């Protein structure tokens, strides 16, 4: 029996545990470590922001991931020792034959942002944003990207378009101004100009104001100030927080110079043999010089790769699966419609990403995926 330690029960950790159980269930003991009791399906936070989901609909209990062959340990991982594939949690030490690190990005709010606005990347922030939106009578709504990088590069644009749809249906369009402020040069810069321009056009066609190269430096009750000297007033503020590598990773010998974990971009193995890292806690530089975006779809495919190769190694077989940089995502546009972007982020010399014509179908695919997630894993 081999001991497999999986750190983090988010997208990457959950899929690794399930795939490994499926592929080598009789040969492995899987332990899945997670600090949060509420396991949130974060893509649904965008619907929660505009009242299309209630808070109770977007999470399940982490304990319900417990099943035959997968033991869930609830607690904050305090220490990781890659040198001997071990970790400490709840004052107890666990040792493994393989380790998969999927601790995501830690979210951290600068400039007192939580005092004035709503961090819609969290259950509480998306909930409190909707509480304010539902009684909004008109004024200025700002969606702020406070810092780069941030996970799901499409999310602020989706949030803005969903809010616009909500405001229009409420008959408040004439009394409301919606703006996005971001340090980026365009939407989803890593995907190239074509897709970026398409998203910019979609946003602006809905009457949403879009301001690039605006890095927030301070915030007060009604005004944002940016490093270029400009300011913006707001009545209702939603923001993406700063993303940093989890402290427990920074305190270990796992990360590279950036603080994120360097990996072999095809096998996701770290500099330590038998230790893999997947998802948002890794950094994968692309040929274009930009890193692979932090997105659940990549954590998902990387998890499948790692699970397959660990199962192979246990059976004495060579690695048989590579993560190839291919990914896709839905882009919510409001009015029950969505777009669908797909492409190869490992393409040379730069990613090749295309978008299918927006429609109702893609929105329903996203809804279906949410249902499938709950059904399959919880
Ligand atoms: C609003 C929103 C919408 C999104 N929509 C999409 C989308 O449509 N498509 C897409 O591809 N991506 C989307 N994403 C991004 C996606 O959710 C993340 O990229 C994905 O969850 C990353 O998976 P992960 O396993 O690396 O990390 P996570 O899913 O963040 O999981 C990490 C887990 O580790 C746990 N953890 C951290 N530190 C510790 C510790 N010390 N001890 C114990 N446990 C710990 C955390 O609690 C967490 O559960 C969205 C994100 C947001 C915020």
Q: What mean pLDDT comes out for the span 94-113?
A: 97
- Average pLDDT rounded to a whole number, residues 104-121: 96
Confidence at residue 112, expressed as pLDDT on a 0 to 100 scale: 94
Q: Is the CB of 276 under 6 A from ligand 1?
A: no
Q: Cβ–Cβ contacts within 10 Å for residue 226, how many?
A: 18
Pocket test for ligand 1, best of 6, 43, 74 (most atoms within 8 A of CB): 43
**Quick check: CB of 295 below 6 Å from ligand 1?**
yes
Ligand 1 centroid from CA 216, angstroms: 24
For residue 315, the number of C-alpha atoms closer than 13 Å in the C-beta half-sphere is 14
**Residue 152, ligand 1, Cβ within 6 A:** yes
279: left (phi over 0), alpha (psi -120 to 50) or beta: left
Q: Does the beta carbon of 13 sit less than 6 angstroms from any atom of ligand 1?
A: yes
User: Exposure of 234 by Cβ count < 10 A (0-12 exposed, 13-18 middle, 19+ buried)?
Assistant: buried
Q: Does any ligand 1 atom lie closer than 6 A to the CB of residue 121?
A: yes
What's the 222 CA to ligand 1 centre distance in angstroms?
Answer: 31
Going by C-beta distance under 8 Å and a sequence separation of 6 or more, which residues neighbour residue 365? 330, 338, 340
Q: Is 76 in the pocket of ligand 1 (CB under 6 A)?
A: yes
Interval 185-212: pLDDT, tens: 999 999 989 999 999 999 999 999 999 9
Do the bridges between strand 236-240 and strand 223-226 make them parallel or antiparallel, or are there none, so unpaired? Answer: unpaired
Structure tokens, 300: 């998902």
What is the C-alpha separation between 96 and 106, in angstroms, rounded? 25
Tell how far the Cα of 189 is from the centroid of ligand 1, in angstroms: 21
Cα(183) to ligand 1 centroid in Å equals 22
Question: Is pLDDT at 80 greater than 90 in this prediction?
Answer: yes
Has residue 68 got a pLDDT over 90?
Answer: no
| Tens-place pLDDT, residues 316-372 | 999 999 999 999 999 999 999 999 999 999 999 999 999 999 999 999 999 999 999
Residue % of the chain over a pLDDT of 90: 98
CA neighbor of 189 nearest in space, from 341, 291, 338, 114: 291
Each residue's pLDDT tens digit, 261-310: 999 999 999 999 999 999 999 999 999 999 999 999 999 999 999 999 99
306 lines ligand 1 (CB under 6 A): no
For the segment 121-141, the average pLDDT, to the nearest whole number, is 98
Flag whether pLDDT at 53 surpasses 90.
yes
Q: Is the beta carbon of 36 within 6 A of some atom in ligand 1?
A: yes
- For ligand 1, atom 5, the nearest C-alpha belongs to 43
Q: Is the CB–ligand 1 distance for residue 151 below 6 Å?
A: yes
Please name the residue whose Cα sits nearest to atom 49 of ligand 1: 10
Give the chain's domains with CATH numbers.
2-35+75-105+245-314 (3.50.50.60), 107-243+326-377 (3.50.50.60)
Ligand 1 atom index nearest CA of 294: 19
The per-residue pLDDT of the chain, averaged, comes to 97
Q: Is the pLDDT of residue 230 over 90?
A: yes
pTM beyond 0.95, yes or no: yes
Cβ(103) – ligand 1 distance below 6 Å: yes
* 104 CB near ligand 1 (under 6 Å): yes
């Amino acid at each position: 029996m081999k001991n497999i330690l999986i750190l983090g029960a988010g997208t990457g950790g959950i899929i690794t545990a399930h795939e490994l159980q499926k592929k080598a269930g009789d040969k492995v003991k899987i332990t899945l470590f997670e600090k949060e009791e509420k396991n949130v399906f974060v893509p649904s936070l965008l619907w929660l922001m505009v009242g299309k989901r209630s808070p109770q609909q977007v999470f399940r209990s982490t304990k319900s991931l417990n099943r035959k062959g997968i033991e869930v340990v609830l607690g904050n991982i305090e220490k990781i020792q890659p040198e001997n594939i071990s970790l400490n949690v709840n004052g107890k030490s666990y040792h493994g034959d393989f380790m998969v690190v999927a601790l995501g990005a830690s979210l951290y709010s600068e400039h007192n942002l939580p005092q004035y606005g709503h961090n819609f990347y969290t259950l509480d922030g998306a909930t409190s944003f909707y509480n304010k939106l539902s009684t909004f009578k008109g004024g200025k709504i700002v969606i702020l990207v406070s810092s780069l990088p941030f996970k799901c590069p499409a999310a602020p644009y989706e949030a803005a378009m969903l809010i616009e749809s909500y405001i229009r249906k409420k008959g408040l369009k004439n009394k409301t101004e919606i703006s996005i402020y971001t340090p980026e040069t365009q939407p989803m810069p890593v995907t190239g100009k074509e897709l970026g321009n398409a998203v910019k056009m979609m946003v602006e066609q809905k009457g949403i104001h879009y301001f690039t190269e605006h890095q927030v430096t301070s915030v007060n009750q009604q005004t944002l100030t940016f490093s270029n000297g400009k300011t913006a007033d707001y009545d209702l503020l939603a923001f993406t927080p700063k993303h940093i590598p989890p402290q427990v990773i920074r305190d270990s010998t796992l990360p590279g110079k950036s603080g994120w974990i360097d990996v072999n971009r095809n096998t996701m193995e770290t500099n330590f043999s038998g230790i893999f890292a997947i998802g948002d806690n890794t950094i994968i530089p692309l040929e274009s010089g930009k890193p692979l975006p932090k997105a659940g779809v990549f954590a998902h495919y990387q998890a499948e790769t790692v699970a397959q190769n660990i199962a192979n190694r246990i059976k004495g077989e060579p690695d048989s699966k590579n993560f190839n940089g291919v990914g896709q995502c839905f882009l919510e546009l409001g009015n029950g419609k969505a777009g669908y972007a797909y492409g190869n982020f490992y393409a040379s010399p730069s990613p090749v990403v295309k978008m299918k014509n927006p429609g109702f179908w893609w929105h329903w695919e996203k809804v279906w995926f949410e249902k499938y997630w709950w059904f399959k894993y919880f």
